Amino acid sequence: SQTIHQWPATLVQPVGSPLSLECTVEGTSNPNLYWYRQAAGRGLQLLFYSVGIGQISSEVPQNLSASRPQDRQFILSSKKLLLSDSGFYLCAWSVPSKNIQYFGAGTRLSVL
Amino acid sequence: QKEVEQDPGPLSVPEGAIVSLNCTYSNSAFQYFMWYRQYSRKGPELLMYTYSSGNKEDGRFTAQVDKSSKYISLFIRDSQPSDSATYLCATSNAGNMLTFGGGTRLMVKP
């Protein structure tokens, strides 16, 4: 069966520090991968999605970037965190021919 | 206007009640409809998936889609305290992108 791993679960970082969140999927090949941000009490905002290695589409201009160095690995990064980057970050995957997305457990990021 | 609207709640009901959660959407191209359940500080998990109009039942959960009025519903029968969570509706056309509602927080009191 397919599983998605996301870490760390919780992260507290100072303003101006770098960020690296990692997401990996097991049990499937060539998945579509997604990064979302969820602000407190609000819906999911799609940040990036990828349909293959090295292929990244950005939905929202911001302080963040994404990379997909391997088929089942998706990384969310920032060179310098802002206070406004605080939130709950979720990674998700889907089979390319299907539109059902499956989510990881999320990373709660607090920028202080 | 958001593409998918959902009352944020909170919706508080006694244990055993029938719960009705609803979303409206504006894009008539949406054909696929999903409900996700999200417990506090966890990732969303897929509950129900339906295509086009009609009903789909799974245990205590029933998903209903009315494309003519662009209205999506999730009914929970015999609600339990363990059903307390935020429920997100999501829609999609034939592509891979999902459009989410803002979520409704449900509290089922014992």
Nearest CA-CA distance, residue B61 and chain A, Å? 18
Residues 6+ apart with CB under 8 A from B2: B26, B101, B102
Residue B94 has pLDDT above 80, yes or no: no
Cβ(A59)–Cβ(A65) below 8 Å: no
For residues A63 and A34, what is the distance between their CA atoms, to the nearest angstrom?
A: 17
pLDDT tens-digit map of B23-59:
999 988 888 999 999 999 899 999 999 988 889 999 9
Instruction: Choose the closest CB to B46 out of A88, A102, A106.
Output: A102
Chain B residue numbers with beta carbons less than 8 Å from the beta carbon of A94 are: 96
- Tell me the CA distances in angstroms from B32 to A37, A86, B93, one per residue in order: 22, 31, 6
Residue A40 has pLDDT above 80, yes or no: no
What pLDDT is stored for residue B57 in this prediction? 95
Quick one: average pLDDT of A74-96?
A: 95
Instruction: Report the DSSP pairing between strands A44-52 and A32-38.
Output: antiparallel
For residues B76 and B80, what is the distance between their CA atoms, to the nearest angstrom?
A: 9
What pLDDT is stored for residue A21 in this prediction? 97
Residue A3 has pLDDT above 70, yes or no: yes
| Residue B97 sits at the chain A interface (C-beta within 8 Å) | yes
Residue B97 has pLDDT above 90, yes or no: no
A15-19, A33-37, B47-51, B76-80: which has the minimum mean pLDDT?
Answer: B47-51
Quick one: average pLDDT of B4-33?
A: 94
Per cent of chain A over pLDDT 70 is 98
| Residue B34 sits at the chain A interface (C-beta within 8 Å) | yes
Quick one: average pLDDT of A105-112?
A: 96
What pLDDT is stored for residue B96 in this prediction? 75
List the structure tokens of A65.
């970037």
Per cent of chain B over pLDDT 70 is 99
pLDDT band at A41 (very low <50, low <70, confident <90, very high): low
What pLDDT is stored for residue A61 in this prediction? 67
